[in-house]
Amino acid sequence: MPERKLKWKILLLHMILLPTLYFAFYFFSLAPKSWEGVDEAVVEKIAKEHGREAKAPLIDPGSGDLLLFAFLVAGAAGGFVGGYYWRRLTRKE
Amino acid sequence: MHISEGILPFPWALLWSLVALPFVAIGVRRLNLLAREDLSLKPLVGLMTAVVFIVSCLPVPVPTAGTCSHPCGTGISAILVGPLVSVLIAAVSLLIQALFLAHGGLSTLGANTLSMGVVGSFVGFLAFRGLRRVGASLVVSGFVAGLLADWGTYAATSLFLSLGIRGDAPLLPLFTRVLLAFMPTQLPLGIIEGVATAGMVRLLYRKRPDLLLKMRVITEKELPSHA
């Protein structure tokens, strides 16, 4: 009996989750905006209106988010490795 | 919340850097003091820095606004390692982002450290500890801490930006305008950050309650029965 209940619960969960996810992705595709970051859409835009423009950074990574992607992948990999070996890192010798 | 290089006039950039500097220095001192008692704190701070670094440059799309923004992560770091060490964590994350990712800038590092590091950490920490003191659960306290750390950070950014760029214009209308411009993106994102913070605290309570006890997030009486 509890097994049957669990099956119903899982079925119900899928019935709710799948349409929700489908709607969420559909909703994303409807957005008319450009998905630019608030740093550009708010901070830099309002600053520009008041005569202040952003300057090129000291180390210019060029256009695009390739460097950011590389950093995120390296950070995520490092985080997973650190988390996996967490006990060894914190073990008292 | 990253104020880009060159946006703030030099006197304002210098002022915010001078205000942020003592917090960072006290954070270094606090970390050394804590590490003297327990060396295992350093890998935890290193991991928290990686978390804050990634979270605070991770663009999350917000469909209601059609823009992207990022959470801050200083709510959870302040809960776990305290607000002063959390300021140091934020400063290091922001420095790397400014140097290599063109997120923020070196001249605006002080203002960004003040908003995300100082305001975010202290607002999150005080909200968490205040709610715990009046008997709120870990999850509720974590949620409010994450939420207010995020919103507090963006409110502080609005203030620093308005003060820097206003020229002769009155402060309050410009501050309100910047704050309102952040709202469509940051209101939902703050809620997401609150949920993530509550989830992380809850996960640690279930998996590593000893860590929460060591960091004085919970007391011995609150340890789960399986611990």
CA distance A75 to chain B (A): 7
Q: In chain A, whose CA is at the least distance from the CA of B185?
A: A38
The pLDDT of residue B64: 74
pTM of this structure: 0.82
The pLDDT of residue A93: 59
Stated length of chain B: 227
Average pLDDT, chain B: 91
Interface touch B53/A75, C-beta < 8 Å: yes
B69 strand-pairing partners: B60
pLDDT tens per residue, range B187-204? 999 999 999 999 999 999
In terms of Cα–Cα distance, which of B205, B165, B12 is closest to A54?
B165
The pLDDT of residue B20: 96
pLDDT tens per residue, range A18-60? 888 777 666 656 555 667 788 888 888 888 888 888 887 777 7
**% of chain B at pLDDT higher than 70:** 99
B80: number of Cβ within 10 Å: 24
Interface touch A67/B101, C-beta < 8 Å: yes
Which amino acid type is present at position A49? E
Please state the domain extents for chain B: 10-222
Enter the CATH code of domain B10-222.
Answer: 1.10.1760.20
Q: Is the model's pLDDT at B129 over the cut of 80?
A: yes
Q: In chain B, whose CA is at the least distance from the CA of A51?
A: B165
The more confidently predicted of residues A92 and B4 is: B4
Closest Cβ–Cβ partner in A27, A75, A82 for B54: A75
ipTM > 0.90, yes or no:
no
Distance CA A53, CA A40 (A): 11
pLDDT tens per residue, range B12-21? 999 999 999 9
The pLDDT of residue A31: 53
**A78 vs B contacts (CB less than 8 Å):** 50
The pLDDT of residue A63: 60
The more confidently predicted of residues B223 and B107 is: B107
pLDDT tens per residue, range A1-27? 678 888 888 888 888 888 887 776 666
